[in-house]
Amino acid sequence: MKKIVLSIIVLISLFSLGYTQGINFQKLTYEEAMDIARKERKNIFVDIYTTWCGPCKQMAAQVFSDKEVGDFMNNRFVSMKLDAENEASHGLFKKYKAQGYPTFFWLTADGELMDVQVGFKPKLEFIQLSEKAIASNLGVKRAALEKRWNAGERSYQLVTEYVYGILGKVDGDKVKPAIESYLASLSKEEISKPENSKIIAGFMSREWHGDMFRYIVGNIQSIESAIGYLDTKIMLYRMYIRSSNAALASGDKTAAMAHRQFLESQTFPDKEMYMDILDAETELHQENYSKGVNGFDSILKRYGKEHPYLYREFSYSLVSSGALMAKQWNTQENKTLQEIGSMAFELNPSQETLIYLAAVYAAGGDYKKAYENAAAMQFYKKPALPGILFAKDLGVSTTVKTPYSEQSGLADMRAKLEAKK
């Protein structure tokens, strides 16, 4: 009996000290983590996560809980997990910022950066990255590159190594001003070089109201040469149109109006077309669905042949605005919807455009056609429509449950089917 009690006490003691199979994450302040790391002659590892992040949960379940990972990390690192939203006041965030989730920071005992990575990493890759971090001299490299930058050097090589290689990982807010500083140092001929056109293109998917906007609209031809027609047009659409849609979707009419007023004050290619599109998209997102669809019809009659990517963009807008689920469409409107969905599919046959087409037929009450299109989806290439649009805007569940989902004994029956001989 005494042996049993002693064993229980030992087990409880071990768990209270943090001896687990995987990584021993501790609840510490930034200063406490550095103090312990110095005393134990270890480095520091920090996992930045959010409660809604799928890859974060995957890391916790598949990698951080693994014994081999735990054995490696616990001998070399003092480890912490920080919720980016609920622990935003933690001292670490005064020095480092996550650029995505999950973000992993490997730091020295003095809090200097050894490496940073974003996204899910399989077990062996995670261990290899941790080994690489220990052997790195990123802190020294950062100081040297920062010194060159502050001294006024503006070379493509320094942008790649310092702005993207370091600032992009640890202080993303500084990337845009740094890139604008770099572009300002170039001649017109240098800006239009493919490598610089690609840099500018990387900023096109967001709304800009300053120097970056002017760099983009002033170099559209060279950007198109560098990244291609379709990618250029889609990203311009996001910059001109989707940023306003996002503001309207969040209820921020002031931001949407400010964006419109800015565009009206600027000169850029195809301005009249984009302003007409902005009008039609705004009608959709303000639930004036007929006006929005009629606007799309008019725009496509004028610009569709010259700008064929518009069919897919308009199809996406019809779904994401909730228009297809919101009203009964008359005969002419149905014809317009079917033309938009059909042309989007013919020009770019994929799972995504096939779902648009199925949704269009369902909105018009032709459920047979909708079913036929949806059933054919497996035979077409990705991209697929984002899952959030299924649930939010089409009212379709992304998971399937039958009346037998709660049937007793299902787990045992599945186990037999999955058993290996």
What is the distance of C-alpha 187 from the center of its chain? 33
- Structure letter (DSSP) for residue 109: T
Residues 206 and 238: beta-carbon distance below 8 Å: yes
CA distance 407 to 421: 26
Residues ≥6 apart with Cβ < 8 Å to 31: 91
- For residue 112, pLDDT beyond 80: yes
pLDDT in tens, 35-73: 999 999 999 999 999 988 888 999 999 999 999 999 999
Q: What is the dihedral of CA 360, 362, 365, 370, to 10 degrees?
A: 100
Per-residue pLDDT at 400:
63
Per-residue pLDDT at 325:
81
Least confident of 152-156, 167-171, 341-345: 167-171
Q: Per residue in 11-32, is it b (16+ CB within 10 Å) or e — as a string? A: eeeeeeeeeeebbbbeebebee
- For residue 388, pLDDT beyond 60: no
Mean pLDDT in residue range 252-262: 91
Alpha-carbon Rg for the chain, nearest whole angstrom, is 27
Q: Which residue has the higher pLDDT, 109 or 325?
A: 109
Which residue ranges form the domains of the chain, and what is each CATH number?
A: 16-136 (3.40.30.10), 137-185 (no CATH), 204-393 (1.25.40)
Name the band, by pLDDT with cuts 50, 70 and 90, for residue 384: low
Give residue for tokens 């109201």: 209
- Measured at the alpha carbon of residue 195, what is the angle toward residues 193 and 197, in degrees to the nearest 5? 65
When mean pLDDT is compared over 4-18, 27-41, 316-330, 349-363, the highest value belongs to: 27-41
Residues ≥6 apart with Cβ < 8 Å to 103: 47, 48, 116, 117, 118
Per-residue pLDDT at 243:
83
Nearest by Cα to 129 from 77, 188, 60: 77
Name the band, by pLDDT with cuts 50, 70 and 90, for residue 33: very high
- Structure letter (DSSP) for residue 61: I
Mean pLDDT in residue range 117-137: 91
Q: What is the largest CA-CA distance in the chain?
A: 89
CA distance 137 to 160: 17
Nearest by Cα to 23 from 126, 128, 137, 136: 126
Q: Which residue has the higher pLDDT, 140 or 346?
A: 346
Mean pLDDT in residue range 247-261: 88
Strands (E) located in 50-112: 77-83, 103-107
Q: Which residue has the higher pLDDT, 103 or 245?
A: 103
Mean pLDDT in residue range 319-333: 86
Element (H, E) at 46: strand 43-49
Q: What is the dihedral of CA 248, 252, 257, 258, to 10 degrees?
A: -130
Per-residue pLDDT at 10:
41
CA distance 371 to 392: 20
Kind of pairing between the strands at 77-83 and 43-49: parallel
Mean pLDDT in residue range 328-341: 93
Nearest by Cα to 316 from 360, 283, 378: 360
Q: Per residue in 374-400, is it b (16+ CB within 10 Å) or e — as a string? A: beeeeebeeeebeeebbeebbebeeee
> Is-cis flag, bond preceding 383, omega within 30?
yes
CA distance 292 to 96: 44
Per-residue pLDDT at 16:
41
